[in-house]
């Protein structure tokens, strides 16, 4: 969730770093910093807040002639957004920038502290630079010391290191966080995504997990576990807008594909060892709390409903969900033993913000689950959990919903731990399933192709019913909302068991039913609900791990051991269906008519 830029060459380095960081600022803007070594002289600058502050601080600084340089824009995970916690982190003669989380940093830190190393920051990153210098002091070869350092790191990282011990080189390593190397004329660039170097470098190499090395005199020396590695570069895109979409047709499509990756960010530092941790929450948040109320709008409301099933089932705490615009005017009865949770992607939704203010006036403790730090809702809440989905550009929310649902699942486990409502074995099973979520979210080419093909049958008809039970009811609501937002077709989400209480009157061959049929939750019940619809000639698209004979179309899912893995896998299917129908209808997927990304009016 941070951004990295590096440059080695003769051009003015400050501008290259700052311009590059500007492109990445959306990934984090708690603080930023740069470090340059030129003529054996080490210089560094850091500033809290937006990049603008760093620009102002470096106004009178210039770096001409050959040199090495690194820069970083931060989104705080370990330690508050302060100048000391900003990257680059400093040792005695080296600097490091890093994205990701070093999971074993506490162990490494203790080891270094026992050897009288002093730490200045609260970050996990600082261990990298001290580890390097410690090894260098024992074996004064910078690359050997860097290799030894990398071999000790556990977790996710993309890191760059510069040192006075080898002032003409940049050392790099990548595992789990993105990093690429760009090649220009007698110059080499590094970045955590390609937009900062477009228009500067012409060729690019995207580093793979486990790769590390250094660059010197215009040459990159690359290694992995098998030793030195040859690599081939490819031409770098020239169109920034296209590059931002990474070759996808729409931001929404890119964001659907990104979900597997961002889920790692959401879990990072929170799903550790045998427990769920939320470092950002004060220990007493749940003291004297007997119930939870969640308020949200739209997709965030659907995540809230999902959360209510999880909180009641796993944490055994009563949980009620309300649409924020309804809650505001119903004169709700509020008790101070209720924790008030708001969920919002943007953190600016007027109805949700107002609901939060009402709850606070009534003396309730508040927690927000949000994707945007420092947004109005985050600032107004007593405490906040950030979803870390990264910026979401498609108006139709996808990865925000996925990460909200994940945070709620983690929160349910967290509360269950606090209330001792879960036994150790069940907790382990939940965590094991949770760790598999990124895989369940991977989009398989065959699946996408299949949905593309069958979408042509779902362009007309007089309506769609997305049906599901239990956790899959909110998912049905969300599937229907996605479809109606971008295809402009009428779609409803319904609890499958309710169809016979009215809506089944609509059933005929022109009624499309998207049936969410998980194996792990009430399969037989939903099956008989779908049979009832099939008997009335409704057209059925069944999504399930179990083949279903009566389906007109069938999409087979694979995860059948945990409801949430089924949930996430089916969520991707419904998102792709909406996307493909909308594309076939020629709609603007990213900016559907009549909608806005952030609804700041009542």
Active site residues: 2, 597
CB of 595 to ligand AGP, least distance (A): 6
The single residue among 159, 266, 299, 539 that binds ligand AGP, judged by CB under 6 A, is 299
432, exposed or middle or buried, with CB in 10 Å at 0-12, 13-18, 19+?
exposed
Question: Distance between CA atoms of 162 and 172, rounded to whole angstroms?
Answer: 9
Handedness of CA 185, 190, 196, 202 (dihedral sign): positive
Question: Distance between CA atoms of 435 and 273, rounded to whole angstroms?
Answer: 11
The answer to whether residues 485 and 316 touch, using CB atoms and an 8 Å cutoff, is no
Determine if 243 is a binding residue for ligand AGP (CB under 6 A).
Answer: no
- Give a three-class secondary structure readout of 316-343: CCCEEEEEHHHHCCCCCCCCCCEEEEEE
The answer to whether residues 515 and 527 touch, using CB atoms and an 8 Å cutoff, is no
Query: In the complex with ligand AGP, which residue's Cβ is closer, 520 or 598?
Result: 598
Handedness of CA 555, 561, 563, 567 (dihedral sign): negative
Query: In the complex with ligand AGP, which residue's Cβ is closer, 244 or 299?
Result: 299
The single residue among 94, 127, 397, 534 that binds ligand AGP, judged by CB under 6 A, is 397
CB of 380 to ligand AGP, least distance (A): 13
Query: In the complex with ligand AGP, which residue's Cβ is closer, 467 or 486?
Result: 486
CB of 401 to ligand AGP, least distance (A): 8
CB of 349 to ligand AGP, least distance (A): 3
Question: Distance between CA atoms of 54 and 31, rounded to whole angstroms?
Answer: 8
CB of 352 to ligand AGP, least distance (A): 5
Query: In the complex with ligand AGP, which residue's Cβ is closer, 125 or 574?
Result: 574
Query: In the complex with ligand AGP, which residue's Cβ is closer, 242 or 595?
Result: 595
The single residue among 99, 125, 134, 300 that binds ligand AGP, judged by CB under 6 A, is 300
Whose CB is nearest to ligand AGP?
298
- b/e burial code for range 383-421 (CB count within 10 A of at least 16 → b): bbbbbbbbebbbbbbbbbbbbbbbbbbbbbbbbbbbeeb
Query: In the complex with ligand AGP, which residue's Cβ is closer, 481 or 515?
Result: 481
Determine if 395 is a binding residue for ligand AGP (CB under 6 A).
Answer: yes
How is residue 236 annotated by DSSP? P
Contacting range for ligand AGP; rule: CB under 6 A; set: 154-162, 283-291, 292-300, 571-579? 292-300
Query: In the complex with ligand AGP, which residue's Cβ is closer, 68 or 576?
Result: 576
DSSP lists the bridge partners of residue 384 as: 368
Instruction: For 331-387, give the DSSP string.
Output: -----TTEEEEEEESSS--HHHHHHHHHHHHTT-EEEEEESSTT-HHHHHSSEEEE-
Determine if 265 is a binding residue for ligand AGP (CB under 6 A).
Answer: no
- Residue 279, CB-side half-sphere exposure with 13 Å CA sphere: 14
- Per the structure block, which two tokens stand in for 169? 């080189």
Determine if 485 is a binding residue for ligand AGP (CB under 6 A).
Answer: yes
Determine if 346 is a binding residue for ligand AGP (CB under 6 A).
Answer: yes
- E strand or H helix that includes residue 408: helix 399-418
Contacting range for ligand AGP; rule: CB under 6 A; set: 83-91, 221-229, 252-260, 297-305? 297-305
Query: In the complex with ligand AGP, which residue's Cβ is closer, 208 or 588?
Result: 588
CB of 346 to ligand AGP, least distance (A): 3
Query: In the complex with ligand AGP, which residue's Cβ is closer, 11 or 328?
Result: 328
Q: Where are the alpha helices (DSSP H) in 114-237?
A: 126-138, 142-152
Determine if 22 is a binding residue for ligand AGP (CB under 6 A).
Answer: no
Determine if 159 is a binding residue for ligand AGP (CB under 6 A).
Answer: no
The single residue among 97, 131, 396, 475 that binds ligand AGP, judged by CB under 6 A, is 396
Contacting range for ligand AGP; rule: CB under 6 A; set: 39-47, 156-164, 338-346, 535-543? 338-346
The single residue among 99, 147, 192, 349 that binds ligand AGP, judged by CB under 6 A, is 349
- Count residues near ligand AGP (CB under 6 A): 16
Contacting range for ligand AGP; rule: CB under 6 A; set: 39-47, 101-109, 293-301, 461-469? 293-301
Determine if 344 is a binding residue for ligand AGP (CB under 6 A).
Answer: yes
Question: Distance between CA atoms of 23 and 316, rounded to whole angstroms?
Answer: 45
Question: Distance between CA atoms of 151 and 161, rounded to whole angstroms?
Answer: 15
Determine if 175 is a binding residue for ligand AGP (CB under 6 A).
Answer: no
Contacting range for ligand AGP; rule: CB under 6 A; set: 83-91, 161-169, 222-230, 291-299? 291-299
The single residue among 128, 162, 222, 297 that binds ligand AGP, judged by CB under 6 A, is 297
Contacting range for ligand AGP; rule: CB under 6 A; set: 85-93, 174-182, 254-262, 392-400? 392-400
427, exposed or middle or buried, with CB in 10 Å at 0-12, 13-18, 19+?
middle
The answer to whether residues 467 and 495 touch, using CB atoms and an 8 Å cutoff, is yes
CB of 393 to ligand AGP, least distance (A): 12
- b/e burial code for range 457-468 (CB count within 10 A of at least 16 → b): ebeebebbbbbb
The answer to whether residues 399 and 393 touch, using CB atoms and an 8 Å cutoff, is no
Taking each helix axis from N to C end, the angle separating 251-267 and 563-584, rounded to the nearest 10 degrees, works out to 160
Closest CA to 99 of 136, 58, 71: 71
Query: In the complex with ligand AGP, which residue's Cβ is closer, 8 or 400?
Result: 400
Spatial neighbors of 111 by CB under 8 A, at least 6 apart, are none
Determine if 315 is a binding residue for ligand AGP (CB under 6 A).
Answer: no
Q: What are phi and psi of 184, to 5 degrees?
A: -115, -155
Determine if 368 is a binding residue for ligand AGP (CB under 6 A).
Answer: no
Determine if 403 is a binding residue for ligand AGP (CB under 6 A).
Answer: no
CB of 282 to ligand AGP, least distance (A): 24
Q: How many CB atoms lie within 10 A of CB 225?
A: 9
Contacting range for ligand AGP; rule: CB under 6 A; set: 221-229, 281-289, 395-403, 468-476? 395-403
Q: Which residues bind ligand AGP (CB under 6 A)?
A: 297-300, 344-346, 349, 352, 395-397, 485, 595, 598-599
């Amino acid at each position: 969730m941070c951004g990295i830029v590096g440059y080695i060459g003769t051009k003015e380095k400050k501008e290259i770093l700052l311009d590059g960081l500007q492109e990445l600022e959306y990934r984090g803007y708690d603080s930023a910093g740069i470090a340059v070594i030129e003529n054996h002289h080490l210089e560094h600058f850091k500033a809290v807040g937006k990049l603008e502050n760093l620009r102002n601080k470096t106004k009178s600084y210039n770096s001409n002639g050959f040199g090495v340089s690194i820069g970083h824009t931060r989104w705080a995970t370990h330690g508050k957004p302060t100048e000391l916690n900003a990257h680059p982190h400093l040792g005695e003669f080296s600097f490091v920038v890093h994205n990701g989380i070093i999971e074993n940093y506490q162990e490494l830190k203790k080891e270094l502290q026992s050897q009288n190393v002093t730490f200045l920051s609260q970050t996990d990153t600082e261990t990298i630079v001290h580890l390097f210098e410690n090894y260098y002091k024992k074996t004064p070869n910078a690359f050997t010391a860097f290799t030894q350092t990398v071999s000790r790191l556990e977790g996710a990282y993309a890191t760059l290191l510069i040192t006075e011990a080898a002032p003409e080189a940049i050392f790099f390593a990548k595992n789990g966080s993105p990093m690429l190397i760009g090649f220009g004329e007698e110059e080499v660039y590094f970045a955590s995504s390609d937009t900062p170097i477009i228009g500067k470098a012409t060729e690019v190499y995207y580093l793979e997990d486990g790769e590390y090395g250094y660059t010197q005199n215009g040459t990159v020396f690359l290694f992995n576990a098998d030793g030195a590695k040859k690599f081939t570069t490819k031409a770098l895109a020239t169109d920034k807008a296209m590059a931002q979409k990474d070759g996808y047709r729409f931001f929404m499509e890119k964001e659907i594909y990104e979900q597997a990756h961002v889920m790692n960010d959401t879990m990072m530092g929170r799903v550790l060892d045998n427990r769920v941790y939320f470092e950002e929450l004060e220990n007493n948040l749940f003291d004297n709390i007997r119930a939870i109320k969640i308020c949200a709008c739209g997709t965030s409301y659907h995540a809230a409903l999902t959360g209510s099933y999880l909180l009641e089932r796993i944490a055994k705490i009563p949980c009620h969900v309300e649409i924020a615009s309804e809650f505001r005017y119903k004169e709700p009865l509020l008790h101070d033993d209720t924790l008030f949770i708001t969920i919002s992607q943007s953190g600016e939704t007027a109805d949700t913000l107002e609901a939060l203010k009402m709850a606070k006036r009534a003396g309730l403790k508040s927690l927000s689950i949000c994707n945007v730090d420092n947004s109005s809702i985050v600032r107004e809440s007593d405490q906040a959990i950030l979803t870390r989905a990264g910026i979401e550009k498609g108006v139709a929310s996808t990865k925000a919903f996925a990460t909200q649902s994940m945070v709620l699942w983690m929160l349910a486990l967290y509360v269950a731990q606090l209330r001792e409502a879960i036994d150790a074995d069940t907790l382990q099973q939940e965590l094991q399933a949770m760790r598999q979520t990124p895989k369940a979210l991977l989009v398989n080419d065959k699946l996408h192709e299949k949905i593309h093909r069958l979408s042509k049958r779902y362009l007309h008809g007089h309506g769609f019913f997305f049906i599901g039970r239990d956790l899959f009811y909110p998912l049905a609501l969300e599937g229907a909302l996605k479809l109606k937002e971008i295809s402009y077709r009428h779609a409803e989400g319904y609890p499958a068991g309710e169809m016979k209480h009215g809506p089944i009157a609509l059933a005929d061959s022109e009624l499309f039913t998207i049936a969410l049929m998980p194996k792990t939750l009430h399969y037989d019940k939903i099956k008989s609900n779908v049979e009832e619809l099939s008997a009335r000639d409704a057209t059925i698209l069944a999504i399930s791990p179990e083949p279903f004979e009566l389906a007109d179309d069938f999409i087979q899912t694979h995860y059948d051991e945990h409801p949430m893995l089924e949930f996430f896998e089916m969520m991707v299917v419904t998102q792709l269906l909406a996307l493909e129908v909308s594309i076939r209808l020629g709609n603007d997927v990213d900016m559907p008519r009549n909608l806005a990304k952030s609804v700041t009016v009542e």
